[in-house]
Amino acid sequence: MKKFLDLISDEVKKGFGLAGYEEELGRVTVSNRPDLCEYQCNGAMAGAKKYHKAPLLIAQDVAQKLSDSQVFEEVSAVAPGFLNLKLQRSFVRAYVESMAQTEKFGLEAPEAVQNIVVDYGGPNVAKPLHVGHLRSAAIGESIKRICRYCGHQVTGDVHLGDWGLQMGLIITELKLRKPELPYFDEAYEGDYPAEAPFTMAELEEIYPAASARSKTDAAYKQEAMEAVVKIQKGVRGYHALWKHIMDISLPDVKKNYADLDVEFDLWKGESDAGPLIPEVVELLEKSGLTYESEGALVVDVKEETDTKEIPPCIILKSDGAALYATTDLATIKDRMDSLQADSLIYLADKRQEMHFLQVFRVARKAGIVSPETKMKHIGFGTMNGKDGKPFKTREGGVMRLEYLIRDVNEEMYRKIMESRHEISEEEARRTAKTIGLAAIKYGDLSNQAGKDYIFDVDRFTSFEGDTGPYILYTIVRIKSILGKYQEQGGGLEGLAFKDAQNAPEKELMMKLCGFNEMMEGAFAETAPHRICAYLYDLANAFNKFYHETKILTEEDADKKAGWIALLVLTRNVLETCIDLLGFSAPERM
């Protein structure tokens, strides 16, 4: 469906044309003075220079041509030359009606379907997920859903950090504690035990101990780095231990993401890029881009137009070890070869900006991607506590993600029990989880990704204001009215919309009309916060309408049915939007 604003613009453009002016001047925007009009056009101001005519006179000419428009109830030219526009109720109603009948509420399929890979999550295996992992998961999941909803072929890949120093540290510490294990015996040729020589709980203790020790013991750290190289080279015992660490940690990682309703299509990791590294290094060497610098193999990526220093990208360290950039380049090769990617989107902390800039440039220069392939790093800001510093536990430690979720759910549960005494324990717990997730995700996603934000449990869990629970509350309110309408014997299918009966109803309809435009923007800008802003406006518009309209007690059955049709559409749009943000609404709360 053509976008609502474009339809309105078309009409005003026609007016400009009929009055003898250039049509392009007729571009319309939503009014920035809603007290005066619904939409506005400032084209006459721009036309004044061109036509050497007072803008007000131009506006008056156009207004006159639009006086019997089917789109506008009122077009007024006001000083110094604005066109204030008010829509016909029937025009708005017709658009809303077709939205309800059209797939995806009138969002059009893309001209070309793209193969998009969204790389998000990116947890480093063997370390518990902490609050820092929330953003990548929440934003990435939403972007994946947005791209898919817009009609593209999307693959979400968790890209596990499963090849890094943490693995080497764990193995080094293990060797120190249990040197007798067969994994460390180079002469050993038998099979290794099927069972890991540690539990998850032990692993959680081993890693921080090893990490702490590596900070003061240089030889120990050196050994850990060598262990990483051994893992990468596939040294038998080291590879077997690495596999144990993966097997023990992954279920926990998967559970964490499942609790967040975050689902990956691929559970690949940096290690999967391993086998492709020699090929990529060869390709880079053949392309003549590489050279040796202090024993390392590097590629220059700076460009003349750079305004800051862009250091060379290191491909192999002097000991031959692959680095973060190397695995990312090999992974790009894999995504090009096996997924024919048109677009690669990465979610990672904004402090990784330089890394991605380097990787993208190398990929382009070396032809690992085609010139048309899009590559985008969405660098997100830090999640801070109320003190404005990175979110910590009360004791000052790093907060585990599962504890954060637990705390928010507890708070939601407390609020539910406070207001609803008749609810069963089981339902209260389940509902608290659903609303808790909305509180967390909406709290995160409503901010522009690149900005730091303050994770404020009190605010995020509030049923009032720009919060997830407020949005859910609105949806549940609509569901409850629809349920009662059905109890009264009414059906929800095939109801006819009616022209708005009051101003808040028209307002609500006009908000609905902006859906496809908002979605196109959210996709183009990979910006879930656009959906949040729309949701909040839509929920506000609905609640205003609800407070001024006695829906269920209305005696005129057609009028009532028209409102129910509007409620059904509003609920559907709201629920579609929250699904795109990665959460859902309970039946009641």
> Given the rule CB under 6 A, which residues bind ligand ARG?
119, 122, 124, 159, 161, 328, 346, 348
What is the number of H-type helices and E-type strands within the chain? 21, 13
Q: Which is nearer to ligand ARG, 99 or 118 (CB)?
A: 118
Q: Which is nearer to ligand ARG, 327 or 431 (CB)?
A: 327
Residue-by-residue DSSP string for 349-410: EGGGHHHHHHHHHHHHHTTSS-TT-EEEEEEE--EE-TTSSB-B-TTSSBPBHHHHHHHHHH
Yes or no: say if 435 and 443 are a contact pair by the CB < 8 Å rule.
Answer: no
Q: Which is nearer to ligand ARG, 206 or 348 (CB)?
A: 348
Minimum CB–partner distance for residue 225 and ligand ARG (Å): 17
Minimum CB–partner distance for residue 119 and ligand ARG (Å): 5
**Integer Cα distance of 298 and 282 in angstroms:** 13
Minimum CB–partner distance for residue 547 and ligand ARG (Å): 46
Q: Which is nearer to ligand ARG, 119 or 342 (CB)?
A: 119
Q: Which is nearer to ligand ARG, 211 or 540 (CB)?
A: 211
Minimum CB–partner distance for residue 182 and ligand ARG (Å): 31
Q: Which is nearer to ligand ARG, 163 or 198 (CB)?
A: 163
Q: Which is nearer to ligand ARG, 117 or 532 (CB)?
A: 117
**Integer Cα distance of 569 and 571 in angstroms:** 5
User: How many other β-carbons are positioned within 10 Å of the β-carbon of residue 45?
Assistant: 17
Minimum CB–partner distance for residue 382 and ligand ARG (Å): 13
Minimum CB–partner distance for residue 362 and ligand ARG (Å): 14
Q: Which is nearer to ligand ARG, 165 or 478 (CB)?
A: 165
Nearest residue to ligand ARG by CB is 122
User: At how many degrees (to 10) do helices 236-259 and 165-177 cross?
Assistant: 120
CA distances from 277 to 4, 273, 417, 566 (A): 50, 7, 56, 56
Minimum CB–partner distance for residue 496 and ligand ARG (Å): 51
User: How many other β-carbons are positioned within 10 Å of the β-carbon of residue 47?
Assistant: 24
Yes or no: say if 358 and 313 are a contact pair by the CB < 8 Å rule.
Answer: yes
Q: Which is nearer to ligand ARG, 326 or 431 (CB)?
A: 326
Tokens 């070396």 sit at which residue? 366
Report the relative pairing of strands 39-41 and 28-30 from DSSP bridges. antiparallel
Give the H/E segment covering residue 172.
Answer: helix 165-177
H helix runs in 493-589, sequence order? 503-513, 515-524, 528-548, 557-581
Minimum CB–partner distance for residue 125 and ligand ARG (Å): 9
List the structure tokens of 519: 């979605």
Minimum CB–partner distance for residue 405 and ligand ARG (Å): 19
Minimum CB–partner distance for residue 345 and ligand ARG (Å): 10
What values do phi and psi take at 73, rounded to 5?
Answer: -85, -30
What are the residues whose beta carbons fall under 8 Å from the beta carbon of 507, sequence distance 6 or more?
541, 544, 545
Minimum CB–partner distance for residue 314 and ligand ARG (Å): 15
What values do phi and psi take at 132, rounded to 5?
Answer: -60, -20
Q: Which is nearer to ligand ARG, 117 or 206 (CB)?
A: 117
Tokens 């997924």 sit at which residue? 339
List the structure tokens of 88: 């016909």
Q: Which is nearer to ligand ARG, 124 or 249 (CB)?
A: 124
